[in-house]
């Protein structure tokens, strides 16, 4: 039996982190991106609006010398307001290739993303191996 995908899951899947400006219609004007990572105190914090989100990704890009990539692993709705995504972040960090598990919890109200919490695993990372 197939079940219909929740509309908020479909909304989050339309987001293109590589081109935030193209996804502007998905976000509420007062959107807040909350990044929790005490290992990166200069980046940790709240980023307000679309410009704030673009600033966050620009900072990550600079810290990883342009190597930051996100691979979606799973996505599911939690009720009618929250969507949780599990992703694998890959990057060159301090001269070595690593991958980190992270979850992003998205709050969607009136068909707009109003808030997101980006929570990376900070105590475990895995060296990437050549395929």
Q: pLDDT by residue (tens digit) across 88-112?
A: 999 988 888 989 999 999 999 999 9
108: closest CA among 85, 83, 86?
83
How high is the pLDDT of residue 6?
95
Domains along the sequence of the chain with CATH: 7-127 (3.10.450.50)
Helices in 48-128 by DSSP H: which ranges? 49-63
| φ and ψ at residue 26, rounded to 5 degrees | -85, -15
Is the pLDDT confidence value at 79 over 90?
A: yes
The one-character DSSP state at 123 is S
Higher pLDDT, 75 or 2: 75
Of the CA atoms within 13 Å of residue 35, those in its CB half-sphere come to 19
Q: pLDDT by residue (tens digit) across 6-47?
A: 999 999 999 987 788 899 999 999 999 999 988 788 889 999
Q: How confident is the model at residue 128 (pLDDT cuts 50, 70, 90)?
A: low
Q: Within its chain, how far is the Cα of 68 from the centroid? A: 12
CA–CA gap between residue 51 and residue 71 (Å, rounded)? 23
Higher pLDDT, 81 or 37: 81
| Segment 3-7 mean pLDDT | 89
CB 116 within 8 A of CB 104: yes
Q: How confident is the model at residue 127 (pLDDT cuts 50, 70, 90)?
A: low
Q: How confident is the model at residue 131 (pLDDT cuts 50, 70, 90)?
A: very low
Instruction: Tell me the two tokens of residue 6.
Output: 């929740």
Q: What are the Cα distances from residue 107, in Å, to 14, 20, 36, 77, 88?
A: 15, 17, 16, 10, 20
Is the pLDDT confidence value at 2 over 70?
A: no
- The pTM score is 0.88
């Amino acid at each position: 039996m197939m079940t219909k995908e929740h509309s908020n899951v479909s909304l989050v899947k339309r987001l293109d982190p590589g081109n935030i400006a193209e996804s502007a219609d998905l976000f509420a004007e007062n959107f807040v991106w909350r990044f929790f990572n005490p290992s990166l105190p200069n980046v940790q914090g709240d980023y307000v609006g679309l410009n704030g989100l673009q600033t966050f990704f620009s900072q990550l890009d600079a810290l990883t010398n342009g190597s930051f990539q996100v691979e979606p692993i799973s996505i599911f709705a939690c009720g009618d307001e929250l969507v949780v995504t599990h992703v694998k972040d890959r990057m060159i960090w301090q001269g070595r290739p690593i991958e980190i598990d992270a979850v992003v919890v998205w709050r969607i109200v009136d068909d707009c993303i109003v808030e997101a919490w980006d929570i990376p695993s900070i105590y475990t990372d895995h060296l990437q191996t050549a395929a």
